[in-house]
Amino acid sequence: MSAQLFYIYDTHCPWSYVTLPLVNEITAAHPEFTLNLLHCARYEGDENISKKTLELIEDESTTTFSKEYIAHLKHAKDSTLTANIMSWVVNKVPYVGLPLLNTLFNAHFEQANELQSYDDISEFINELKLSPPNKVFSIEKLTKDAEISLHNLEELQEIMGTKAIPALLLAIDEKLILLNHNLYLKHPKAIVEAVQLELSNTN
């Protein structure tokens, strides 16, 4: 039996941020799973996030957003740079993908780091001893790797029947299970039991 976990997200999406703990719990419980991190590059500098959205997320999860992040809500969000970085990482050094993603989420949602320039992310890149090419640091356009990733994501979303983000998809051999992550936002560890049930049902 082979199992894969697909996590569809955007680094600037607060719903994605509160879903990441579920990914962390699943991968910790099942290190044998292949993890596929799919950045959807939704934010293009023309959209901000409402305080009402954050209040809803706080009500449905265990998260409390930082004062620093809330103070920057009116700033337009652009995730082009992080889409480029994460696409390069998952292709070249996939074992770094989840640690880096956790770092990026924490930087943005806890420290109000906009993640929109080399200076914003250079510290994280250096800490992980990564050496991506200069094109990866572009905020003007997606790299070829990021575009390919988006194309693959679109095909997957057609199979799933939804373009909603975030999304958690479990693939066990040929069986695809769209996990209802909303049920576990208050109790992230409980999703491990749900995954185990799906694994048992395929045996």
Would you state the structure tokens that stand for residue 88, as one six-digit string?
Answer: 């390069």
- Sorted by where each begins, the domain ranges of the chain are 3-201
User: What pLDDT does residue 203 have?
Assistant: 63
User: What pLDDT does residue 67 have?
Assistant: 95
Alpha helices in the chain (DSSP H): 14-29, 51-60, 67-71, 80-92, 97-111, 118-127, 144-160, 190-201
User: What pLDDT does residue 48 have?
Assistant: 76
Q: How confident is the model at residue 36 (pLDDT cuts 50, 70, 90)?
A: very high
Sign (positive/negative) of CA torsion 96, 102, 105, 111? Answer: negative
User: What pLDDT does residue 139 have?
Assistant: 87
Q: How confident is the model at residue 116 (pLDDT cuts 50, 70, 90)?
A: very high
Percentage of residues in the chain having pLDDT higher than 90: 85
State the CB neighbour count (10 A cutoff) for residue 112. Answer: 17
Instruction: Taking residues 193-203, report their average pLDDT.
Output: 87
User: What pLDDT does residue 132 have?
Assistant: 94
Residue 47 has pLDDT above 90, yes or no: no
Q: How confident is the model at residue 76 (pLDDT cuts 50, 70, 90)?
A: confident
Q: How confident is the model at residue 130 (pLDDT cuts 50, 70, 90)?
A: very high
Residue 127 has pLDDT above 70, yes or no: yes
CATH class of the domain defined by 3-201: alpha beta
With beta carbons less than 8 A apart as the criterion, state whether 114 and 72 touch: yes
Percentage of residues in the chain having pLDDT higher than 70: 100
3-state secondary structure of 69: helix
Residue 39 has pLDDT above 70, yes or no: yes
Per DSSP bridges, beta strands 3-9 and 34-39 are parallel
Residue 32 has pLDDT above 90, yes or no: yes
User: What pLDDT does residue 83 have?
Assistant: 97
Residue 103 has pLDDT above 70, yes or no: yes
